[in-house]
Every structure is written in C-alpha cells, then in structure tokens.
Amino acid sequence: MSQPNILTIRPDGPLQFEGDLTLQDADGNVLLQGNEAWLCRCGRSRDKPYCDGAHKHCGFTDPAVFEDTRGESLQSDSGHLTLIVKQNAMLLVKGPLTLVSRDGQSGSTRNRTALCRCGESKNKPFCDASHNACGFRG
C-alpha cells in the first residue's frame, strides 16, 4: 500500500508535502520527483517554488488554520500527486491529497486544488487569484 499524500500547512511558513509526488513547471518539465517538498507560500523566496526561509524575515503571517468548504470524499489518499507551478500564479495540485492545519484538527481531502504562492490570498492556503493584483513573479 502506498503512503498517503499529506500537505501540512505550516504556521507563518511553507507548504510541506509528503507522499508520492512530482513537482513540475507549467511546461511539464520535472523539477523534483520524490516523497517530500517544502514549497514557498509567502511569495518572497529567492528559490521559488522552494522555501528558502524568506517568510521568517518578510513579515509573512498566517495561522495555518483554514476551512475548506469544497473538500471531497476520497476512496484513498494515496496514489501519485502532481504539483504544477504556474508561472506568476498558483500551485496546481492533481491527485489524492489530505490537507492538515497546524492544530492537526482542521483538515480536508481533495483530488484537485489550487494553492496560493504569492502570500496575498484572503483564503489561504487556497488561491483566490490575488497574484494578479499584487504583481507576483515566480
């Protein structure tokens, strides 16, 4: 049995993915294939899409507690997960995923989602297209 795909939302910090994952750019080029990735969600990393710790110095705050009104019921949270870095935009996630908040209590499951990379979404960790207004690059 494969391990589950889990996204832990770190308070004031990165997105921590664990599972069977492939990270690719918008053109399909593989950036990482493995079982763990720490990705920037403050929008300030100099090594996007990866976290470089910039959130500690740029004033990024987010308590990592969320409500997911669009969660899905999945038969399994294991299987291959594809993370697609959209240029100057969101992180698209395709495949079974369990999202967990900092308290370990808030959570949901999804088969597809779009996550914020610019740090400006009013619905973190989810993308609300704020990257368009804030001029996010990466």
Residue-wise DSSP of 40-87: --SS--TTTTB--SGGGTTT---------TT----S-SBS-EEEEE-T
At 73, the amino acid letter reads S
The C-alpha atoms of residue 53 and residue 39 are separated, in whole angstroms, by: 10
Write down the pTM of the prediction. Answer: 0.92
| pLDDT digit string (tens) for the chain, length 138 residues | 578 899 999 999 999 999 999 999 999 999 999 999 999 999 999 999 999 999 999 999 999 888 777 776 666 767 999 999 999 999 999 999 999 987 776 678 889 999 999 999 999 999 999 999 999 999
